[in-house]
Amino acid sequence: MGSVVLPASALAQCDAWRKAGQRVVMTNGHFDLLHLGHVDYLQRARGLGHALVVAVNSDASTRALKGPQRPLIPDGERAHMLAALGCVDLVVIFDALTAESLVAALRPAVYVKGGDWDPAVTAAASTVGQTASPRREPPEAAIVAGYGGEVRYLPYLAGHSTRELIALIVARYASGADCGERSTETSASGSTELAEVSVEPRSRRRLSRAAQPRETAGP
C-alpha cells in the first residue's frame, strides 16, 4: 500500500529512491471511477521501474479539463483508492492543468502516458476520406527529454474507460434518474410495496477539501 503525500514529501522520497539506485516511474491523470483499465495500466507502469508515483488531477483541474460534471469522485477519495493498490508507491494531488512542474521537480527516470498520447500512433479518420494526423506529445515529454529521462506510452486495455463506464451507467439507469433509489417494504397487510429512498447528494456528504488530510503515510 502506498501513501498520499504533498509534493515536498514526494520530492524527498524520490531523491531517496534515486540515491538508493532505484528507478522512479511517474504517471498522471484523473483516475475518475477507478476500473480495471486503470489497474492494468498502473501495474504495467510499475513494471518499468522500482517505484511508481501517480499524480492525480485535483477536482478543479479535472473540471477545467473534463467539464463541469466531472469529477464524479472527489480528489481525496481518488488519491486514497490509488494508494491502496499494491503497484502504487506514492500519490500526489496537483491543481495545474498539466503535470509539467511536478515532473520537473520529481524528475522520474521514466514518465508514462497512455497510448492515446503516443505521437507514433495516427488518429483514425473520423470521416471517410479524412487524412489521419499524428497525435500530439504530452507537454511533460519535453521536460523529461530535457533532463535525459525516458517517456513510455502504454496502450490502454480495450473496452475499459471511464467514458464507456459512464455511458453504460447512464444507459442502464437514466430512465429512473429522477425517481431516487427504490427499496421494497412490506406493508402491514403483508404486500410488498415500493418506497422512495432519499439519497443525499455526494456534494453534501463529503467533507470539504480543506478539512481533509492531504498527506497520509502507508503502513
What is the distance of C-alpha 204 from the center of its chain? Answer: 23
Report the alpha-carbon distance of residue 53 to residue 103 in Å, rounded.
10
In a domain, 12, yes or no: yes
Report if residue 119 sits inside a domain: yes
> Is 76 among the domain residues?
yes
**Total domains, the chain:** 1
What is the extent of the structural domain holding 70? 3-165
Residue keyed to cell 471511464: 162
CATH at 65: 3.40.50.620
Spatial distance between the Cα atoms of 216 and 1, rounded to a whole number of angstroms: 11
**Of the candidates 21, 22, 30, 20, the residue with the CA atom closest to the CA atom of residue 48:** 22
Q: Considering the domain boundaries, does residue 183 fall inside one? A: no
140 close to 100: Cβ distance less than 8 angstroms:
yes
Q: Examine residue 62 and state whether it is found in any structural domain, yes or no.
A: yes
Provide φ and ψ at 28, rounded to 5°: -150, 160
Residue 52 falls inside a structural domain = yes
Report the DSSP beta bridge partners of residue 111.
26, 151
Identify whether the C-beta of residue 143 lies closer than 8 Å to the C-beta of residue 104: yes
The CA radius of gyration of the chain, in Å to the nearest whole number, is 21
Any domain includes 176: no
Task: Name the β-bridge partners of 5.
Answer: 92
| pLDDT tens series, the chain, 219 aa | 899 999 999 999 999 999 999 999 999 999 998 999 999 999 999 999 999 999 999 999 999 999 999 999 999 999 999 999 999 999 999 999 999 999 999 999 999 998 776 777 745 433 344 455 556 789 999 999 999 999 999 988 777 777 788 888 888 888 764 544 444 444 444 444 433 333 344 443 444 343 344 555 443
95 domain residue, yes or no: yes
Q: Where are the beta strands (DSSP E) in the chain?
A: 3-5, 24-29, 51-57, 90-94, 110-114, 150-154, 181-186, 192-197
